[in-house]
Amino acid sequence: MIIVGDENDITRFPAVTLSLIFVCIVVMIFECTGPTSMNWFIFQHGFVPLRFTSHFGLGQFSTLITNIFIHADFWHLLGNIWFLYIFGDNIEDFLGHFNFLVFFIVCGIAADLANLFCNPLETIPSIGASGSIAGVLGAYLILHPNASIKTWWGDQSILFGFRTYNLPAWLIIMCWFVMQYFMIYLNVQGIGWIAHIGGFTTGMLAIMFFQSHINSQPVKLEEQCKAFRGCGD
């Protein structure tokens, strides 16, 4: 199954979502063409749990953010920016540009810290925007659980027919979430399953907090208006 897109309109241009995609692409190009080897670049700017705790400083703290924009290869990059392109615009539309940027970074940091908590002695660099994008998926699940997600299952591929099937967002996202635990159970290495769970959970909690904050504003405003009218009585 390949996710093709979603049927969920937006009201504002997703400037931050597209900018994040652009930055990831530029960093990937620099990894491949820069003055240093890709492996050195990844190790230097990726998040390494053991190095973070044993040599903590500004340089190591910065890797909590820099690792988000680094990817291992083209396919790693493509998978992440595709999911960000499909789901990110709706979260940016709800949060606003600056808040979405903060949300994206916070989810990425939370993903790294989840990995640090569960694997404090890990020496392999953690890289990629998947922790942040997991947070986007968590937020999407809260905001748009019944949105239609277009999927392609490969049928009619010989005739170049691309028939799509619409599935609810909650089904797609929950299947993805359960898969993270399944992969941990199978001990599949090479992907930050725990980081995904940390980013996803943070995204859900952050968007629920933001929702409650927004919902409380009209009540506070109404109370202020009543108080103001009372002063004039």
User: Where residue 29 sits, what CATH number does that domain have?
Assistant: 1.20.1540.10
**CA-to-CA distance for 79 and 218, rounded, in angstroms?**
40
SS (H, E, C) 180-204: HHHHHHCCCCCCCHHHHHHHHHHHH
**CA-to-CA distance for 82 and 152, rounded, in angstroms?**
14
Q: Give me the number of domains the chain comprises.
A: 1
CA nearest neighbour of 202 among 131, 126, 153: 131
**CA-to-CA distance for 119 and 191, rounded, in angstroms?**
13
Pair type for strands 148-152 and 165-168: antiparallel
This prediction's pTM: 0.88
User: Which residues form the domain of 168?
Assistant: 2-231
In a structure prediction context, what are the per-residue pLDDT tens digits for the chain, which is 233 residues long? 889 999 999 999 999 999 999 999 999 999 999 888 999 999 999 999 999 988 877 878 999 999 999 999 999 999 999 999 999 999 999 999 999 999 999 999 999 999 999 999 999 999 999 999 999 999 999 999 999 999 988 766 555 567 788 999 999 999 999 999 999 999 998 899 999 999 999 999 999 999 888 776 655 545 555 554 554 44
CA nearest neighbour of 180 among 167, 198, 206, 168: 198
